Amino acid sequence: MTFTPTVLPVPAPQGLSLRCFEARCRVISNTPVNGEYRLLVLDAPAEVLDCQPGQFFQLLCPQPEGETPFLRRPMSIYGFDAAQGRLEFLYKVTGAGTRGLATLRPDDAFNVLGPLGQGFSMQDDWQHLMLVARGVGLATLAPLARMAQEKGRKLTAICSARRPELAMSVDLFESYGAEVIVVHDQNASSTPEALRPLIEARIAAGQVDAFYTCGSARLLRLLQDLGAKHGIPGEIAMEQQMACGLGMCQACVRQFRVGDRLIQRRVCREGPVFPIEEAIV
């Protein structure tokens, strides 16, 4: 198959990416990974694989029988490999768009737009990283584990789920050298009250320089509190309804607290990754 990505000029504030790509990819596989999630693997052109952890794509979902998803669906990157030409998305079937995604079969053509948004950063003095997330939020943070390994950082990944078997990306995080701690609702180990002493013990041992999170308001509030108490920075990938994904429609505007001011930002363009201390839930 011949790929012909199209460069789309996109107006952007100073310092943000000025272009993205629309590309026709080929489906390699689209398989269940557990009782709730599926993994979509695409053969993608090099132009769309110049990605950062935390960025996302707008996916043109097929129409399932009897349904007509109108807009593209934003989906965070689960994995990307420019050398192999691979692009991966982990998703849960919840609506018309993802029901359409579930109909894709190997060798089907699939249209994607991206990479979009601003990804995670990793400051030089962040040598001990702690990732705390739940459910599909762990998918957003999965490329961060690879980035941490490439930069020689130590990573602790706290993976939260309703049940142990639903904890996402455990094997992947371990393959990148992370210490993985699985917590879940069945034994109440996933509550903020249970996580607080676990995290503070690692802070006391000098094992946390920065936090990363995605997808859970209660985990965000816990990390904001611990970050303020112990002077630990961090980043969050925000989840938000989007329409265009390019910053033009303003559908994803949220409030953020910067110092003593409340400001408005577009999650799709100024984010989706923001400093933890600035996020409001």
Instruction: Round to whole Å and give the CA distance between 157 and 89.
Output: 20
Q: Give the model's pLDDT for residue 239.
A: 87
**Binding site members for [2Fe-2S] cluster:** 244, 249, 252, 268
**Binding site members:** 73-76, 97-98, 244, 249, 252, 268
Instruction: Round to whole Å and give the CA distance between 41 and 265.
Output: 31
Structure-token pair, residue 121: 């950063």
Q: Give the model's pLDDT for residue 168.
A: 81
For domain 128-234, the CATH architecture is 3-Layer(aba) Sandwich (3.40)
Instruction: Round to whole Å and give the CA distance between 248 and 220.
Output: 28
Q: Give the model's pLDDT for residue 66.
A: 80
Q: Where in the chain is the domain with CATH 3.40.50.80?
A: 128-234
Task: Quote the pTM value.
Answer: 0.89
Contact between residue 160 and residue 219 where contact means Cβ atoms under 8 Å apart: yes
Q: Where in the chain is the domain with CATH 2.40.30.10?
A: 6-116
- Torsion sign (Cα): 80, 85, 91, 95: positive
Task: Assess if CATH 2.40.30.10 describes domain 6-116.
Answer: yes
Peptide bond into 197 cis (omega under 30): no
**Binding site members for FAD:** 73-76, 97-98
Report mean pLDDT in 10-residue bins for the chain, 281 residues.
43 51 96 89 94 95 84 94 95 91 96 95 97 88 94 96 86 93 94 96 97 93 97 95 91 93 95 96 83
